[in-house]
Amino acid sequence: MSTNDEPATVAAVDAAALQDEALAAVAAASTPAELTELHTRYLGRRSELKQALRNVRDRETGMTLNAVRERLEQAFAQREAELERAALDRALASDGLDVTLPGDELAVGQLHPTTQIRRLVEDAFLGLGYEIRDDREVETVEYNFDKLAFPSTHSSRSPRDTFFIGDDVVLRTETSPSQIHHLESREPPVYMVSIGRVYRRDAITPTRFPIFHQFEGLAVDGGITLADLKGTLLHVMRVLFGDDRRVRFRTHFFPFTEPSIEPDVSCGVCGGAGCRMCKFSGWVELGGAGMVDPRVFENVGLDPEEWSGFAFGCGLERSAQLRFGIEEIRPLFSPDLRVLRQF
């Protein structure tokens, strides 16, 4: 090749020798950077071949030099593809990636512990022939208190215990108003369960929170007794907590049931030895229950001499605590996904 600064002439360029030299250099190039340098040397604007093409004076020489240029461009493109393919092969080998294997499985959502309990409750009562109902969370004083036979002096009517959003409108304190709505729209026999959120002005403790979920059950038929209520509750407790957990019933008072009882379940956190969750008693109160008070039947136009029934209400979050051994209720309302991934 010419080493002069002056442009090369056609006569000075040996097309065959230039082509052989360039092809050998391209074949020996081992990196993209080296190939780029060679491309500039042999096909660049100031290369010997380009200078010769600018000074072509006859057709035969022009055709020869253009054939060399095309051959070299093909060689450069081919070598570039080979180097890229080799680089990819090295990267795949070093990464240890088998592209024929399936990709990573995408993470999917998980049911909240409270939702898991809700579905267990729904399945248990659907199996018993109950109807599942969901009612409004904003209630009137009439349905939340009056028709459930709450006395006018009952503490639950106070704004210190209940969220009032108007003179006669409240956020429901329990799912019990569903009983009244159902009895007003259906003729007995009635077997229903209402599940949903309720609101109370409660201080936050290991087992209490101002917002929580309840499942409320009602059965109205002829000849229903307290034994039917206890048997139903025992069945549900076994579904939720298994056969190993102990269940007991204590007498209590509720305005809309008479007689009234409270079901307790042995604490799953301490095994009955005593802890903060069970207030060191070994037992956790799950809710309230009892036989429907005759005044409630009268408030919905039913004859208490003809019909009898039972009602009960239990907390879903507290049931989740007992099932999964969660000491505090607060994590169930936390947005931390690490809580959900445990269950």
φ and ψ at 216, to 5 degrees? -115, 125
pLDDT: which is higher, 166 or 3: 166
Cα-based distances in Å from 166 to 56, 159, 163, 332? 99, 11, 9, 30
- Is pLDDT of 67 > 60? yes
Element (H, E) at 283: strand 283-285
To which CATH superfamily is domain 113-340 assigned?
Bira Bifunctional Protein; Domain 2 (3.30.930.10)
> Can you give the pLDDT at residue 9?
42
User: Is residue 110 scored above 90 in pLDDT?
Assistant: no
- What confidence score (pLDDT) does residue 89 get? 84
pLDDT of residue 97: 64
Distance from the first to the final alpha carbon of the chain: 78
Reported as a single tens digit per residue, the pLDDT across 240-295 is 998 888 999 999 999 889 999 999 998 877 877 888 878 888 898 888 999 999 99
- pLDDT for 96: 66
Listed by start position, the domains of the chain span: 15-95, 113-340
Q: How far apart are CA 287 and CA 267, in angstroms?
A: 14
Neighbours of 62 (CB within 10 A): 14
The highest-confidence range among 47-51, 84-88, 292-296, by mean pLDDT, is 292-296
88 or 194: which leads in pLDDT: 194
User: 195 pLDDT exceeds 70?
Assistant: yes
Question: What is the dihedral angle through the alpha carbons of 141, 147, 152, 154, rounded to the nearest 10 degrees?
Answer: -90
Output the average pLDDT for the chain. Answer: 88
pLDDT, position 5: 43
pTM: 0.65
175 close to 201: Cβ distance less than 8 angstroms? no
Q: What is the pLDDT of residues 223-242, one digit of tens each?
A: 999 999 999 999 999 999 98
Q: How far apart are CA 153 and CA 233, in angstroms?
A: 30
Buried b (16+ CB within 10 A) or exposed e, 18-51: bbeebbebbeebeeeeebeebbeebbeeebbbbb
